[in-house]
Chain A
Amino acid sequence: DQQVKQNSPSLSVQEGRISILNCDYTNSMFDYFLWYKKYPAEGPTFLISISSIKDKNEDGRFTVFLNKSAKHLSLHIVPSQPGDSAVYFCAAANDYKLSFGAGTTVTVRA
């Protein structure tokens, strides 16, 4: 069963606007959440993370929000830039292992 779900396979956004990516999880034992970015033919690279004791973490243009009661997290990218076009994976950690969502492909239009 899939414990981490990204229900939007793709997102198209205009350059300069906000990108919002969503992720839902089912396992209440997850204690750490991460977002990874992946370009074609490369491995995923770490973007930003949040501990389950926080509800927001910011790093430059990237902000992750966590709603534990809803088992939901989101990634906001403001402003979106052409180099942000990639696949974004949500991941949740428990017991030193990560469970990944299926990914959301973001396309930033000029």
Chain B
Amino acid sequence: NAGVTQTPKFRILKIGQSMTLQCTQDMNHNYMYWYRQDPGMGLKLIYYSVGAGITDKGEVPNGYNVSRSTTEDFPLRLELAAPSQTSVYFCASSPDGYEQYFGPGTRLTVT
């Protein structure tokens, strides 16, 4: 099992550009999550999904969108990138909504 995989590992965007962060899990977990971690801070929940076709906002959803068409994939879309979106993004999945398994992260810089 690969677990949770994220691509790309690093990305530099210019202000106003858009991109999609990819997340795939092979554990057949229903629950999937997107977090961002800023320096010296804990992880903040952006969006989550309790199953294919179902998504909901977390604590910091502004500037992001998600979709969940399959159990395996949970892409995060950034529209009109802003410097405030410079962060490390983590995707996670969970079998029960509690113990979560994290991907290695995507480091995004917006300049």
Contacts and interface: CB of A to CB of B under 8 A. Distances in A.
Interface of A: 4, 6, 9, 32, 34, 36, 41-46, 49, 89, 93, 96-103
B102 A45 contact: yes
Range of interface residues on B (Cβ < 8 Å): 20 to 34
A43 B45 contact: no
Interface SS majority for chain B: strand
B45 A98 contact: yes
15 contacts: A6-B42, A34-B99, A43-B102, A44-B43, A45-B102, A46-B101, A49-B98, A93-B97, A96-B94, A96-B98, A97-B45, A97-B48, A98-B98, A98-B100, A100-B35
A96 B102 contact: no
Contacts of A41: 104-105
B53 interface: no
Interface SS majority for chain A: strand
A42 B42 contact: no
Interface of B: 4, 31, 33, 35, 40-45, 48, 50, 58, 90, 92, 94, 97-105
Contact of A102 (B41, B48, B101): B41
A34 B98 contact: yes
Max count, chain B CB within 10 A of own CB: residue among A42, A43, A103: A43
Contacts of B42: 4, 6, 89, 100-103
B58 to A, nearest CB: 7
Contacts of A9: 40
Nearest to A31: B98
